[in-house]
Amino acid sequence: MIELASSGNHYDVRVDPLSLWQLIAWVDSCGVYMGEPEIRALGDPDFPGIERLPIRPRVASAPVVERP
């Protein structure tokens, strides 16, 4: 998918650099394999040292943002 989006070989379409980075981040975050319900089902992270973080990472308890 990344190669297709960046090569220009698919109907001569090439994504801009920012969109390409966003696509790479989406693929790297398993966005291809999991939707929001599956990701929220993973639960909130818990690991040694988490209490020292200034902001605790949230997955299951993250707020739901309504987008148009």
Looking at residues 45-66, what average pLDDT do you find?
93
How far is 1 from 23, CA to CA, in rounded Å?
A: 9
pLDDT of the residue at 48? 96
pLDDT band at 56 (very low <50, low <70, confident <90, very high): very high
Distance set, CA 9 to CA 12, 18, 50, 65 (Å) = 5, 19, 45, 35
How far is 5 from 13, CA to CA, in rounded Å?
A: 7
Tokens for 6, please give them: 């960046």
pLDDT digits (tens, 9 = 90+) for 16-41: 999 999 989 888 887 667 788 888 89
